[in-house]
C-alpha cells in the first residue's frame, strides 16, 4: 500500500525481472501508455529520428508530440517493450534528465489500439493559442481523486464553498460521459476555452471550480488561465478522469470516458466500454465535425498547429475509424 500522499506505483514499472511476474498474471497482452510533461525542449528535431528508431525496434505504435513546451505521448505495445520504453525516456542521456520524473498512466487491452507509430514536432503539445501560459513555470493548484470524491460526497469543499465541476473537453467527448452536474460549454476545440470562460465567468464566481479532462493536460492550461483572469478558487483534477477512475472508480460520474483510439471509450474499471465494442458505433461518426480519422482531425485546424485535436493526433494514428457517438449519447441534462 502506498504511504499517504505518495504516488501510486505504476502498473508496469521500468524493465526489470519483475516483468516476468506481470507477464504471468496479465490476461490482456497490450499495455496502453500515456504521459505528458511541460518542460523546455530545444532539441526536438534532433530527438525525433532517434525516438522513431527506438519505437520501431520495440514494436510500439501510437503518437508522440514534441514541442518547445514539452512532450505528450500515447503509445501501446507488449508489456516488456513498454517497460523498456519507459526506462529509455527516464534514463537515456539523450534527454538530459528532462523526463526523469515523467509520470505514466497505464491500461491494458486485448489488441493494439493504434494503427502506426508517429513522432510529430508541434508548436504546442496542447493548443490553446495563449503562448504566455506556461505550466512549466508554475502550475495551478490541483486536487487528488480521493479529496475530490469527499468534496462531491459532501457537496462542498473543506471551506464550505460549493464545488463546480468544469469539463474542458470537446462537446462530443462530453456526450460519452462526464461528472454529475458538470458545466459543459459545448466547445468544439480547446482554443475556444478562454472565450467561453469570459462569457460565463459569472457561473464560477464564489465557488470552488475543479477543471477536468481526460488525462489532465488540458487543465494544466485551463486552470492557469482561469486564475489569471481573476477566478479565485480554481483547481485542476490531478491526472484527469482516467486517474480518478484508477483511484476511486466511477463515483459521481455517469457514462464512460472517451479516448481517441480504437477502444473509443473506457469505463470506470479502465476497460473498453460497451459502446466501443459495438461494431456499428465503431464504423461511423455520428457527431458533425468530430474527427473520425487522423486525417479528419488534421483538417479541423492548421496541419502544423492542430487544436485540441492534438489529442486526436496523439491517439488515433490511423489504421481505421474511431467512433464518435451522437450528440445525446450519455448526456446528463
**Antiparallel, parallel or unpaired: β 257-258 and 265-266:** antiparallel
**Cell of residue 210, nine digits:** 475543479
For residues 190-222, b (16+ Cβ closer than 10 Å) or e, as one string?
Answer: bbbbbeebeeeeeebeebbbbbbbbbbbbbbbb
> Which residues make beta-bridge pairs with 36?
72
Contact 227, 161 (CB under 8 A): no
Q: Is the dihedral of CA 93, 94, 96, 102 positive or negative?
A: negative
* DSSP one-letter code for 118: E
Cα–Cα–Cα angle for 95, 96, 99, rounded to 5 degrees? 60
User: How many CB atoms lie under 10 A from the CB of residue 330?
Assistant: 18
Count of residues in the chain: 333
Alpha-carbon distances, residue 126 vs 191, 219, 296 (angstroms): 9, 10, 17
Half-sphere exposure of 79 (CA within 13 A, CB side): 22
What is the secondary structure of 33-99 as a DSSP string? EEEEEE---S-HHHHHHHHHHHHHHHT-EEEEEEETTEEEEEEEE-HHHHHHHHHHHHH-GGGTTTT
**Cell of residue 211, nine digits:** 477543471
Question: Is 213 part of the annotated catalytic residue set?
Answer: yes
Per the residue annotation, which of 26, 55, 213, 257 is the catalytic one? 213
**Residues with catalytic annotation?**
213
Amino acid at each position: 500500500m502506498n504511504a499517504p500522499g505518495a504516488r501510486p506505483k505504476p502498473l508496469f514499472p521500468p524493465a526489470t525481472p519483475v516483468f516476468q511476474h506481470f507477464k504471468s498474471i496479465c490476461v490482456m497482452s497490450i499495455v496502453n501508455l500515456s504521459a505528458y510533461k511541460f518542460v523546455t525542449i530545444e532539441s526536438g528535431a534532433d530527438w525525433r529520428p532517434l525516438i522513431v528508431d527506438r519505437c520501431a525496434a520495440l514494436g510500439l505504435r501510437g503518437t508522440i508530440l514534441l514541442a518547445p513546451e514539452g512532450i505528450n505521448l500515447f503509445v501501446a505495445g507488449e508489456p516488456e517493450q513498454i517497460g523498456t520504453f519507459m526506462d529509455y525516456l527516464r534514463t537515456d542521456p539523450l534527454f538530459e534528465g528532462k523526463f526523469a520524473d515523467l509520470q505514466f498512466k497505464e491500461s491494458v487491452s486485448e489488441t493494439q489500439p493504434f494503427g502506426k507509430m508517429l513522432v510529430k514536432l508541434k508548436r504546442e503539445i496542447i493548443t490553446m493559442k495563449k503562448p504566455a501560459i506556461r505550466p512549466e513555470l508554475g502550475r495551478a493548484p490541483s486536487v487528488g481523486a480521493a479529496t475530490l470524491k469527499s468534496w462531491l460526497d459532501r457537496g462542498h469543499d473543506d471551506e464550505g464553498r460549493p464545488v463546480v465541476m468544469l469539463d474542458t473537453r470537446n462537446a462530443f467527448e462530453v456526450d460519452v460521459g462526464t461528472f454529475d452536474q458538470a458545466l459543459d460549454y459545448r466547445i468544439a476545440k480547446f482554443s475556444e476555452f478562454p472565450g467561453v470562460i469570459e462569457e460565463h465567468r459569472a457561473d464560477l464566481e464564489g465557488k470552488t471550480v475543479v477543471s477536468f479532462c481526460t488525462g489532465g493536460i488540458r487543465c494544466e492550461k485551463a486552470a492557469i488561465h482561469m486564475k489569471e483572469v481573476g477566478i479565485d478558487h480554481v483547481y485542476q483534477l490531478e491526472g484527469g478522469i482516467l486517474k480518478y477512475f484508477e483511484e476511486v472508480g466511477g463515483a459521481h460520474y455517469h457514462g464512460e470516458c472517451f479516448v481517441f483510439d480504437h477502444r473509443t471509450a473506457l469505463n470506470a474499471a479502465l476497460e473498453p466500454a460497451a459502446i466501443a465494442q459495438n461494431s456499428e458505433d465503431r464504423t461511423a461518426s455520428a457527431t458533425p465535425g468530430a474527427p473520425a480519422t487522423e486525417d479528419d482531425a488534421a483538417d479541423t485546424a492548421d496541419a502544423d498547429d492542430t487544436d485540441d485535436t492534438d489529442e486526436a493526433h496523439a491517439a488515433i494514428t490511423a489504421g481505421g475509424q474511431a467512433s464518435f457517438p451522437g450528440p445525446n449519447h450519455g448526456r446528463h441534462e
